[in-house]
């Protein structure tokens, strides 16, 4: 049976982009609730956009070192959201929200990736629904830079890549096939790779990205 890699598109700010991403086949839509990001939206705006999502397309709220009040405001606006912690949150801080969450692992780029203990990280955040693998760049994600995908043993049973890893960081329609073939993750997450400008998604790039994921699944 062919595996279907799930697709999350992150950093959306416009109704037209949300609707096109859903039509193209996205499984999850990410809204950035981090004020310093060029893709940031307010909780109210995230709620407006999330109401466009049909059943079985998951809204994801991305936080970076947010306070409990900020997380509560996001959940009030988008009650059915999956949380994504993308800063320096401890396992306890992630659990405090008492909601299902993704934990981003900010993997060093270049040779530094091989010094990152992904097995330990996955164990520390064992309560996370998934570990999202992103490149460690300034600004907490969306930098368009990939880490070294050959730095880890993706078949290690402790990683459980096909059920618990989300590949992110510098993915584009041109390289996502290679990433999926190497890692075989549960899902892929794209932001800058389908943009014409930060926070502005490009419909053709979204279509090409989704098509590339499906091509990778078929091989």
CB within 8 Å of 57: residues ≥ 6 apart? 22, 26, 27, 28, 29
Residue tagged active-site, from 17, 94, 134, 189: 134
Q: Has residue 84 been placed in a domain?
A: yes
Ranges of residues in the chain with a pLDDT under 70 are 1, 138-143
Per-residue pLDDT at 2:
73
Per-residue pLDDT at 163:
95
Per-residue pLDDT at 69:
97
Q: Has residue 30 been placed in a domain?
A: yes
Q: What CATH number should be reported for the domain holding residue 70?
A: 3.20.20.70
Q: Has residue 79 been placed in a domain?
A: yes
Domain housing 59: 6-217
Per-residue pLDDT at 111:
86
Write out pLDDT tens, residues 167-199: 999 999 999 999 999 999 999 999 999 999 999
**10 is annotated as an active-site residue:** yes
Per-residue pLDDT at 1:
67
Per-residue pLDDT at 141:
54
Residue tagged active-site, from 10, 17, 94, 189: 10
Q: Has residue 1 been placed in a domain?
A: no
Per-residue pLDDT at 145:
83
Rounded to an integer, what distance in angstroms lies between the CA atom of residue 113 and that of residue 212? 26
Counting the structural domains of the chain, the total is 1
Q: Has residue 187 been placed in a domain?
A: yes
**17 is annotated as an active-site residue:** no
Per-residue pLDDT at 112:
87
């Amino acid at each position: 049976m062919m595996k279907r890699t799930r697709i999350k598109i992150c950093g959306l700010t416009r109704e037209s982009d949300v609707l096109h991403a859903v039509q193209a086949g996205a499984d999850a839509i990410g809204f950035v609730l981090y004020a310093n990001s060029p893709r940031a939206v307010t909780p109210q705006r995230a709620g407006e956009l999330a109401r466009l999502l049909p059943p079985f397309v998951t809204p994801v709220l991305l936080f970076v070192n947010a306070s409990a009040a900020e997380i509560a405001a996001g959940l009030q606006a988008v009650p059915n959201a999956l949380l994504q912690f993308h800063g320096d949150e401890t396992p306890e801080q992630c659990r405090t929200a008492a909601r299902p969450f993704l934990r981003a692992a900010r993997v060093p780029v270049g040779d530094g990736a091989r010094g990152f203990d992904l097995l330990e990280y996955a164990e520390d955040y064992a309560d996370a629904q998934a570990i999202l693998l992103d490149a460690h760049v300034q600004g907490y994600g969306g930098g368009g830079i990939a880490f070294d995908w050959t730095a880890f043993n993706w078949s290690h049973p402790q990683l459980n890549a096909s059920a618990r890893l989300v590949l992110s960081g510098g993915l584009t329609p041109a390289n996502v096939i290679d990433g999926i073939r190497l890692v075989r993750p549960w899902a892929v997450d794209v932001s800058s790779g389908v943009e014409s400008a930060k926070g502005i998604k490009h419909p053709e790039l979204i279509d090409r990205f989704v098509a590339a994921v499906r091509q990778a699944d078929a091989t």
